Amino acid sequence: MHRIVLVVLAAALLVAAGASAKNAPFVGVWKGTVKAADGGTTTVVVTVTAKLKSNNSGTIAYAQQKCTGKLAFLKQSGRVLTLRETIVKGLCPKGGSIQLSQIDYRTVWFAWYAAGVAEPAWSGYLALGGR
């Protein structure tokens, strides 16, 4: 009887671990240097709040362009999170979206897309906590 209970508990833990791996933990501060299609670079800081699936999902800052913006949830598909970006300060392009693709629990691939454009204009790795 004890063995059956232990086997059932072990199976439940494995299922729970698998389920949590499907929903990537994007909440946190992500920082890194991203590259533009034309070769330029900038430091990006993306803060994703615990209100992930809302119109107040976080903030974004581009160091070299001195731009800041707000992020709103668009969709999440497995390990890929898509957010709408609204620039509130600075001269960065308006109307973009970003995708964060989880590589591991400390690294995401960042891609910025202009409205209606299929290829990212900016992309690169961001690290949790900016490491």
Query: Domains (ranges, CATH) in the chain?
Result: 25-128 (2.40.128)
Provide the residue type at 33 as one letter.
Answer: T
- If you search the block for the tokens 């976080």, which residue do you land on? 58
Q: Please give the Cα distance from 99 to 109 (Å, whole number).
A: 8
pTM over 0.85: no
Summarised one tens digit per residue, pLDDT across range 67-123 is 999 999 999 999 999 999 999 999 898 889 999 999 998 999 999 999 999 999 999
Q: Please give the Cα distance from 37 to 34 (Å, whole number).
A: 10
Q: Among positive and negative, which fits the CA dihedral 51, 82, 120, 78?
A: positive
Q: What is the pLDDT of residue 131?
A: 53
Summarised one tens digit per residue, pLDDT across range 9-56 is 333 333 333 334 444 579 999 999 999 989 999 999 999 998 888 888
